[in-house]
Amino acid sequence: METTQRWLRGLAVFVPFGAALLGLRYLLGTWLVLHPRIALGALVTGVAGATAAALLVRRHRRRRMTRAVEGAGWSPIDPRTRAWPWQGLQQGRAVVETAWTRKVDGLPIAAGRVRFSGAAFAGAVRDREGWAIFVVLKLPRPAPSMAWRLPFQYVGDSPRLHRPELRWATLHGEIPPWTVLGDELFIVEPSHRWITPADLAAVLHHTLHVLALLNLDP
């Protein structure tokens, strides 16, 4: 009995509310038919306003990201002023949006945010498109070309690829896919959010770990 009463009380609230919504929808539809120009203008204005708001939010988040990263000791660079090591591997598209640089243990480091599509990194990431954080480390001296690719493939014939420490770290997920080309080691890790100093520090840690595992550090 009590359950029936609760159900009836709920119905008593829902029916008038639903009727009001249907009436509003009817009136709005009638108004749109009678005033199509005004309706179109309102639609265009709404879309333009939403687009402008989204751009402002994006600009604000990018500025906040830039301030945080530069506050952590990174210096901004123009990504168009240098070549990136994955450009020779590309079977897709990769565009560096933002980049910074610093030195760690005397080694020059470039890092930033890149947008990619297709096989832009030759199997270094699973995603077919999206955003990623990258770190490019300048090696003390050139090394043989080599890499680790997904799902579990070593590329190259360097004896360094057979180091037990490297194999163990790979098997236990301690390091992501990496690439050595000439005098550069780079890692790209997908990230669908704005970069924080902690994000850059994490990818940099992976890069320095690979450097040590390959015994390429100074």
List, for residues 130-178, the tens digit of each pLDDT value.
Answer: 999 999 999 999 999 999 988 888 999 999 999 999 999 999 999 999 9
Whether residues 92 and 59 share a domain: the answer is: no
**pLDDT for residue 11:** 46
Whether residues 110 and 197 share a domain: the answer is: yes
Kind and range of the H or E element at 10?
helix 2-34
- How many other C-beta atoms can be found within 10 angstroms of the C-beta atom of residue 135? 25
Whether residues 148 and 194 share a domain: the answer is: yes
Structure tokens belonging to residue 67: 């301030």
In tens, the pLDDT along 185-205 reads 999 999 888 888 889 999 999
**pLDDT for residue 54:** 45
Whether residues 22 and 95 share a domain: the answer is: no
Query: Considering the domain boundaries, does residue 79 fall inside one?
Result: yes
Q: Give the end of a domain, one of 34, 54, 70.
A: 70
Rounded to an integer, what is the distance from CA 218 to the centroid of its chain? 31
Query: What's the whole-number mean pLDDT along residues 4-8?
Result: 47
Whether residues 79 and 63 share a domain: the answer is: no
Mean pLDDT of the chain, nearest integer: 78
Whether residues 39 and 138 share a domain: the answer is: no
Across the beta sheet with 129-138, what order do the strands follow? 75-77, 91-104, 107-119, 129-138, 184-190, 178-181, 146-149, 153-155
Per-residue DSSP letter, 141: S
Whether residues 193 and 143 share a domain: the answer is: yes
Q: Give the end of a domain, one of 70, 89, 122.
A: 70
Whether residues 115 and 10 share a domain: the answer is: no
**pLDDT for residue 42:** 47
**pLDDT for residue 87:** 86
How many structural domains does the chain have? 2
Q: Which of 77, 169, 178, 190 is nearest to 137 (CA)?
A: 178
- 158 with 164: CB under 8 angstroms? no
Query: What's the whole-number mean pLDDT along residues 54-79?
Result: 68
Q: Give the end of a domain, one of 19, 49, 70.
A: 70
Query: Considering the domain boundaries, does residue 218 fall inside one?
Result: no
Domain that holds residue 171: 75-213
Q: What is the pTM (predicted TM-score) of this model?
A: 0.71
Whether residues 200 and 94 share a domain: the answer is: yes
Query: Considering the domain boundaries, does residue 102 fall inside one?
Result: yes
How far apart CA 83 and CA 10 sit, in angstroms, is 66
Query: What's the whole-number mean pLDDT along residues 81-87?
Result: 91
